[in-house]
Amino acid sequence: MLLRRSAFIGPLARGKRVLDIGCVNHTLSTHQMRYWLHGILREQAAYLVGLDCEKEQVEQLRKEGYNVVCADATDFNLGQQFDLVFAGEIIEHLTCPGKLLACAKRHLAGSVKSYV
């Protein structure tokens, strides 16, 4: 059975504090799509922060009311922790994915859980 990742990830975020790393998902045109993961997370999470390095797209999302920050996914400190850290469609674009994982771990509250 084929399961859309949005159907899996949405319920994981329900009522939680969520950090979405790589929220722009390449271009801003994706945020108009029904299955844009940041939009799904926004509907489910109690609190959501998006993080991306695409400055213009982040600014546009801010203007539209999204809680997003412009930062390098391998070197950031938001000064807060989250119940769920989601990093979809980003790890394959990084030269040092271990740095992303280290930053994500620092921002993850409680015990580390993997949903792979």
pLDDT top residue among 114 and 70: 70
* pTM flag (> 0.85): yes
CATH of the domain at 59: 3.40.50.150
Residue 51 lies in a domain: yes
Distance of CA 1 to the CA centre of its chain: 26
The count of structural domains within the chain is 1
pLDDT above 90 for 8: no
Residue 41 lies in a domain: yes
What is the Cα–Cα distance from 71 to 18, expressed in whole angstroms? 16
Long-range contacts, stretch 74-78, CB < 8 angstroms, 24+ apart = 74/99, 74/100, 74/103, 75/99, 75/103, 76/51, 76/103, 77/103, 77/106, 78/19, 78/49, 78/51, 78/107
Residue 112 lies in a domain: no
Residue 99 lies in a domain: yes
Residue 93 lies in a domain: yes
For the stretch 31-82, pLDDT in tens is 656 778 899 999 999 999 999 999 999 999 999 999 999 999 999 999 999 9
pLDDT the model gives residue 5: 78
Domain range for 19? 5-106
Residue 111 lies in a domain: no
Lowest mean pLDDT among 27-31, 63-67, 112-116: 112-116
Residue 12 lies in a domain: yes
Q: Is residue 21 within 8 Å of residue 53, measured between CB atoms?
A: no
